[in-house]
Structure 1
Amino acid sequence: MSRLMPYDSEGLWLKARLFINRAMDDSTEFEEAAFWACCGLELLGKSALSRVSPLLIALPTDDGNSLLIASGAVEDADSFVTVQAKRSGRDVGARSDSSIPMRRKSSPWAGTRTSTRQQSDST
């Protein structure tokens, strides 16, 4: 029996399914279910990326060890490290509100509407 590599897309897929099944268990509390669902989603993404190329999930470090392992040049699977999922958008407390530009979606009717007062003044 061959050993699965840590970047094997099928192994990551199976582990993601296991985590999602844990999240969907009826006896699981909400916080724990959310944790398992997040972990499962991260592994599902890594599985999809790894199917294209294992290099897409390898952590690029100064020594390049994980990249070499993912490319097959080095066979030290125990020291393989994958990239971590990061939160996007607003991190509460991590940034000030001024560092994230807020864009409002403009309405196609913006500026075309006149108030009742303006209409009565013009007549």
Structure 2
Amino acid sequence: MRIALGTLPPWTAVAGRIAIAASATLVWMWPADGPGLRALRRNRRALAGSTLAVAFWQIGIRVRGPGATSVLFNLVPVAALLIAAGFGRMPAVPQLLAVAIAVGGVIWASRGARR
């Protein structure tokens, strides 16, 4: 994959990766949900969200640099927990502890990067 898309401009490579991932997702969902078009209609928000996430990630890497952006990747579980809580699912104590560890790690890594 890297060899095939590595020589392309960044946004073209991102678009190619998204097209490959969307196609693979449809093929993977095909047996479970019947025709792929129905699966695509049902999951279009997830595909759109994933596409936007990759695009914003690329923008973050370009603006802040790979080191600072990679630290923020550790906040993905925190965002997932907040979204789940927004839908009414109460987090368990181990999940809250994990969020505290993740946030503490991001703060600690960010302090070290500024020195």
Band of TM-score, shorter chain: 0.3 to 0.5
Superposition TM-score, scaled by structure 2 size: 0.32
Which has more radius of gyration? 1
Question: Greater helix percent: which structure?
Answer: 2
TM norm structure 1: 0.31
